[in-house]
Amino acid sequence: MSRDGSDGLIEIRPARPAGRLLPAEGWTVDHWRLTADAGQGTLTLSGDRYRSGRVRLFPLGAAGRADGVTTVCLATYRWEVNPKPRSIWRMLLLDRDGRLVGAGLDRPGPQALRLFPPEVFEPLTAAGIRVVSESYDSAQALEDAHPGAAGKVALAGANRGRMAAIGLTAALLILIVVFLVVYLTR
């Protein structure tokens, strides 16, 4: 749910899904907040880390700061860590040039959409913040579009299969070379 106050304060809260909450959704529903304060020129993200009191403060682009947040990008990407690919959702905070200013946690796509359907973020437009949804085929594609957005873990996981194939190929080549050396020295 969100609150669109006449005092220039907009508070975005996750939607409470119907039925029983999944593990960790209770914490998110109770503690996650994204607050835009036009009067102060700030955007505050709190409750994004499980059981953490850490609050992150970002300038708003409407306050005239070049590095201020002007866009909230609701990004989804495919993450192929094991043979079964997963959909991952991540909220990105972008400046006027589309550069990454900050990001929320990676969340499983279907679970995130239960808590964060795009319409939850619509009140941010009153604070001059655009809300866009983007979809990418891989963590690398997300990283290419918004450097720093995918994170090291997602990129390492996405490249694990490719790295394993390269390692196996290199091991096979070494084995062939050793076999040839032994064969030719006889």
Domain map (residue ranges) of the chain? 2-150
- Measure the CA–CA gap between 46 and 53, rounded to whole angstroms: 7
pTM: 0.77
Q: Tokens 């390269």 identify what position?
A: 166
Amino acid occupying residue 25: E
Cα–Cα distance, 29 to 128 (Å, whole number)? 25
The overall average pLDDT reported for the chain is 83
Write down the residue that tokens 């091991």 correspond to. Answer: 171
Q: What is the pLDDT of residues 51-89, one digit of tens each?
A: 566 889 999 887 677 789 999 999 999 887 666 778 999
Q: Phi and psi dihedrals of 124, rounded to 5?
A: -65, -25
Q: What are phi and psi of 152, to 5 degrees?
A: -65, -40
Residue 26 has pLDDT above 90, yes or no: no
Q: Which amino acid is at 177?
A: V
